[in-house]
């Protein structure tokens, strides 16, 4: 009897492994806007939905790191859902206070850019399978605007 249960588990696991899953890609980080107290960065996540029905997005979490330290982290409010059978672009906004950017002066002073790593977790509610998280990550350098760019 136990061998029959083991075979059933293997069969179900094999079938679930063959189910198509959404795929995602992440672009680099860029400056979106500047205010008196913070800088707003953003990155785009492209997500393809292989199903013929929309999928709800449970959560989009992000962590922005620079010089080995966490600059900003959080979750994206109300990400919505993925329409059926299309590629959807989601914008992930990251707000960074200026006082933290000032603490990165050593890295910024050398070449007027910030070396960063952005980690994004896209959690989608898949039918039958349940919550499925797609981990995404990108690294790069972001050039900061000069005073002439601001004024």
The string of pLDDT tens digits covering residues 23-76 is: 888 887 888 887 888 888 888 889 888 888 888 888 899 998 887 888 889 998
43 and 94 in contact (C-beta within 8 Å)?
yes
The highest-level CATH class for domain 21-150 is mainly beta
51 and 85 in contact (C-beta within 8 Å)?
yes
* Helices and strands: H and E segment counts in the chain: 4, 9
Domain locations in the chain as residue ranges: 21-150
Mean pLDDT of the chain: 80
* Locus of tokens 């449970």: 58
Among 7-11, 22-26, 110-114, the range of highest mean pLDDT: 22-26
Q: Closest Cα partner for 19 from 132, 145, 136?
A: 132
């Amino acid at each position: 009897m136990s061998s029959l249960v083991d075979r059933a588990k293997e069969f179900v696991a094999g079938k679930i492994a063959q189910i198509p899953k959404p795929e995602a890609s992440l672009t680099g980080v860029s400056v979106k806007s500047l205010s008196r107290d913070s800088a707003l960065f953003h990155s785009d996540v492209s997500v393809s939905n292989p199903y013929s029905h929309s999928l709800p997005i449970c959560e989009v979490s992000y962590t922005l790191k620079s010089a080995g330290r966490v600059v900003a982290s959080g979750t994206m409010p109300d990400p919505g859902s993925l329409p059926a059978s299309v590629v959807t672009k989601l914008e992930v906004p990251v707000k960074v206070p200026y006082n933290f950017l000032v603490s990165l002066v050593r890295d910024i002073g050398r070449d007027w850019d910030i070396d960063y790593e952005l980690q994004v977790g896209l959690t989608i509610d898949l039918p039958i399978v349940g919550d499925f998280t797609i981990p995404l990550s990108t690294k790069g350098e972001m050039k900061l605007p000069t005073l002439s760019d601001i004024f």
